[in-house]
């Protein structure tokens, strides 16, 4: 076979996409019903195309494509609180995710180090981690709203809470799993505890820590949509809910595509970082 493997995979991807879009188009066309006749023009205007033309509320792929292009063409317009460009909304969400995630890393990595290095700390922290880890981060929302009294900060807090567990657990696991012989090398060289932590334990555990960070940012990006639906105001989650209230399925589908793309880029960035610290034994 002379076609390179990567190209073959790419062609197959495009074929799958094409099949999906064609099926989507056909299903929407097939849903087309009968138009109601003899309606008062003013009433017809209120009902929209679904009643007057029998059109499906679900847009065709080309309509979504056009809407996506509209969003990309002018992502940063601001026409009032309920009409901002998708770029602005994504920027709000990204800011919250990165702030919450960054704060979580600042707490989770040092605490994870402590838990990984000390059997006592590990035993002492374990019940709390086990109890709090399975709690949906959104369950913290009312508590955050009541204590912080600021919806945007509450969203950041929810991101913080959901990002902390995978990073904490992976850091502790990575630190506890550092090979004894590497620590023995440091000991026989009379390396100080601090230098051992930074020069031996951190690089040895870095791949595991990065895996935890990658899981965390994925979860954070999942949660931000739901959190912003609740707190409202700004952000991609609010945008989705606003489009639903406007009954604009096109807007909702556009938002889904953008959420997917940004989530993919976040994961890609951390995958790159993981490659930088990876090593083979």
Least Å distance, CB 177 to another protein, is: 14
Q: Which residue has the tokens 């097939």?
A: 30
Q: Give per-residue burial for 222-241: e unless 16+ CB within 10 Å, then b.
A: ebbbbbbbbbeebbbbbbbb
Q: What is the dihedral of CA 203, 209, 214, 216, to 10 degrees?
A: -150
Q: 253 by DSSP, 3-state: which?
A: helix
Q: Does 125 bind another protein (CB under 8 A)?
A: no
**Distance of alpha carbon 18 from alpha carbon 15, whole angstroms:** 5
Least Å distance, CB 276 to another protein, is: 10
Q: Does 264 bind another protein (CB under 8 A)?
A: no
Is 227 in contact with 237 (CB distance < 8 Å)? yes
Helices 141-148 and 202-231: angle between axes, nearest 10 degrees: 80
Stretch that binds another protein, among 84-92, 95-103, 243-251, 273-281 (CB under 8 A): 273-281
List CB contacts of 35: < 8 A, sequence separation 6 or more.
51, 52, 53, 54
Restricted to residues 132-191, the positions that interact with another protein (CB under 8 A) are: 179, 181-182, 184-185, 187-191
Q: Does 5 bind another protein (CB under 8 A)?
A: no
Q: Does 279 bind another protein (CB under 8 A)?
A: yes
Q: Does 277 bind another protein (CB under 8 A)?
A: yes
Least Å distance, CB 249 to another protein, is: 50
Restricted to residues 194-213, the positions that interact with another protein (CB under 8 A) are: 199-200, 203-204, 206
Q: Does 262 bind another protein (CB under 8 A)?
A: no
Q: Total residues contacting another protein (rule CB under 8 A)?
A: 19
Q: Give 17 or 278: the residue with its C-beta nearer to another protein.
A: 278
Q: Give 105 or 178: the residue with its C-beta nearer to another protein.
A: 178
User: Which tokens belong to 273?
Assistant: 């970082």
User: Which tokens belong to 258?
Assistant: 């953008």
Q: Does 281 bind another protein (CB under 8 A)?
A: yes
Element (H, E) at 193: helix 193-196
Summarize as ranges the residues that interact with another protein (CB under 8 A): 179, 181-182, 184-185, 187-191, 199-200, 203-204, 206, 277, 279-281
């Amino acid at each position: 076979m002379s076609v390179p493997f990567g190209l073959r995979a790419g062609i197959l991807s495009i074929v799958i996409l094409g099949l999906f879009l064609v099926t989507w188009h056909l299903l929407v066309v097939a849903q087309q019903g009968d138009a109601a006749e003899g309606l008062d023009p003013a009433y017809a205007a209120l009902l929209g195309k679904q009643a007057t033309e029998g059109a499906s509320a679900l847009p065709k792929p080309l309509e979504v494509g056009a809407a996506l292009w509209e969003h990309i063409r002018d992502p940063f317009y601001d026409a009032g609180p309920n009409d901002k460009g998708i770029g602005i909304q994504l920027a709000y969400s990204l800011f919250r995710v990165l702030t919450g995630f960054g704060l979580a890393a600042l707490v989770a990595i040092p605490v994870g180090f402590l838990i990984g290095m000390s059997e006592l700390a590990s035993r002492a922290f374990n019940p709390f981690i086990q109890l709090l880890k399975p709690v949906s981060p959104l369950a913290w929302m009312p508590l955050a709203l009541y204590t912080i009294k600021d919806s945007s900060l509450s969203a950041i807090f929810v991101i913080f809470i959901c990002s902390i567990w995978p990073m904490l657990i992976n850091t502790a696991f990575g630190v506890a799993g550092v090979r004894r012989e590497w620590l023995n090398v440091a000991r026989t060289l009379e390396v100080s505890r601090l230098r051992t932590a930074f020069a031996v334990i951190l690089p040895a555990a870095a791949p595991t820590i990065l895996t935890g960070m990658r899981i965390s940012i994925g979860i954070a990006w999942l949660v931000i949509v739901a959190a912003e639906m609740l707190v409202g105001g700004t952000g991609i989650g609010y945008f989705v809910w606003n489009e639903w209230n406007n009954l604009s399925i096109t807007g909702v589908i556009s938002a889904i595509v953008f959420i997917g793309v940004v989530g993919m880029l976040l994961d890609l960035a951390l995958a790159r970082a993981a490659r930088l610290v990876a090593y083979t034994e």
